Structures are given as structure tokens and as C-alpha cells.
Amino acid sequence: MTVRHLSVDYDKVNERGCFSPGDILSGKVTVVTSKETKVQSFLVRAKGKAKVTWHEQEGQTTVVHSNKKKYFYFEHIILQDKKKGDGSEIIGPGRNVYPFSFVIPNVDMPSSFEGKWGKITYSLRAHLTQSIWLVHKTKTEFPFLTKSEFPFASKSEMIIIGLKEQQYATRISFYGSGTVTMNVASEKMGIKQGEAVGVSVEVLNNSTRTVTPKFYLCEKQTFVAESKRRVHANDMFFGTGDSVPAQSSRTTTKVISIPPQLPPTFFNCCMMKLEYRLKVALDVPLLTEPVIKLPLVILLGAPKPHQHKPKRSIWFRKLPG
């Protein structure tokens, strides 16, 4: 095997290390060969796509539901055998570097995302074909960030209006021994990655039981394929408040810090969306917990340097004989 190494790298365009619509995606493909090498084709591709897949058991049959969407696809030919098969294009021995450049379409596309049954990826792939039996491939993904300040705006314009408004909700639960009233309020509906939001719960406990408020951040991922819909929910526990004894009342405030790496809310993908809620539940011994959920929109936070994922470069070693 004369091709010892193949890798594809891209140039950063900003401090965050993310690309957006309209940016120039440039980089280089590096090939290391042990001697002069004939190739049939050598190219690099840039692709943006979304894909959803899950399996369901229907009787004795496993049914696969899938959907995909291509946002863009570009191909840059580095070397191409003009005689279609005789390997007339040559790569010299040693280290060879080939630059490339693409312009990302200036249209609305969702940010990179990886969920339970689907993901949105943007990638570069290099293909070097020596013969029909000998093809070398390598791939690296690059982070992509939508230009839309509100990638959920198409869902409802009222969401934007209410981002800075306080949220309120009330629930009254009836038990044989009395009632428990829970009033919940959050400072605002819109919060950036890495920031914190205060949530207050007022409990009026007119029952004979002691109740304790518990605080959660709820994530909801929705996937759509072949007219089917599947939801993945995940509750992140943030702790408990002070217990409220029987025939008493108490107000507890909890500060919930949004993890900076948590993906922002989005609706601008036709086959998946990501939503969040603030949830407050009352722990009532031996009874169903009363729950209040408030809407929460997580917005993109301040720029942070991107950490590259390990690239899948390929090194080849000579086989014996």
C-alpha cells in the first residue's frame, strides 16, 4: 500500500470555531505516499444534512422509520483520471498538500445537533481511488451555527415577545385531608446558555401531609419520519426546596444554572425540534406528585472557543510479504 496517510482539515473562521451560512469553508487535504502513486480519482466533498432513524416492533416485524434532508452538497475534484481507468494521474512520493474552498449557501439551516434518534451534521470527506478495489476515505465534521437569532421564531411570534416576561402558573391539588396550592413563577422565559434563572414556588399546605418541592429542567426532543412522531424526554434534577409541614405555607426560590454546553432551543428543522420546560413537582408521600411546567427558551450564549473532535485520519502500514 503506497498511500500511508490521508487527512482532511479546515481553517477556522472565527473565535467560536463555528461556520454559518455565507461563510467560506476552506482547508487542505494531506496525502503521504511511500512512492509515486497512480490514482483514478481524488476529491473532497462538503455536505450538510439532517437524518432521523428509529426502530419499532410491530408484532414479529421490526419496522425502521427514517427520514433525511440534504442542506448542501459540494464536490471539489483534486485529481481525475482523464482516460477513465488507467490510473494516469500521479501523486508524488512524500507529503502532498492540496487546498480546497467552498462557499456555504446563505440560507437558513439548523445548527449542528445530535439527539436520541437523529442528528444534524456538517462534514468534509476526502476520497482517493486507486482502483475499484482500493479506495481510501477520511472524514471530519465541522461545527455549524445557524444565523437565525431566534431559530424558533416560525413556531410563534409571541414567543419572542414573551422572552423577557415573567412566567406564572398555579395548581391546586385536592386530597382527602385537605388541599395543597402551589404557585410557581420564573424570572423570564428566555435564558442564554451558561446563565441562571430564578424559580420561586409558594406552597399553601392545608392538608395533613408534609410536602417538599423539587426542581427540574426538562428537555424534549421530537423526531418525525414517514408521518410518524417520536419523543425523547429527559429531566435534569436541580435539587429540592424546604419541606412545608401540614397546615402551613412557605416560599422557596431556587436558582437554576443552564449548562453552557446545553444545545439551544430550535424549530428550524423539518424533522426534529428541541424544547425545554422548567418543572416544579411536590413530593407528597404515597400520592401522585402535583406538577407545574413553565416554558423555557434556551438562547445561544456568549462565544466560546470550539474544541475539535478527533479527526479520523488514516495511517496505513505495509503488510508483510
Structural domains of the chain in order of their starting residue, each with its CATH number: 3-148+304-315 (2.60.40.640), 157-299 (2.60.40.640)
pTM: 0.83
> For position 14, what pLDDT does the model report?
84
Q: Which tens digit of pLDDT belongs to each residue from 86-120?
A: 556 888 999 999 999 999 999 989 999 999 999 99
Distance of CA 195 to the CA centre of its chain: 19
CA distance 168 to 258: 20
Element (H, E) at 254: strand 248-257
Instruction: Give the chain's radius of gyration (CA, Å).
Output: 27
**What's the pLDDT at 201?**
94
pLDDT at residue 321, rounded to an integer? 43
pLDDT of amino acid 124? 97
Q: Which residues of the chain have pLDDT under 70?
A: 82-88, 149-150, 152-162, 302-321
CA dist 232 and 118 (Å) reads 11
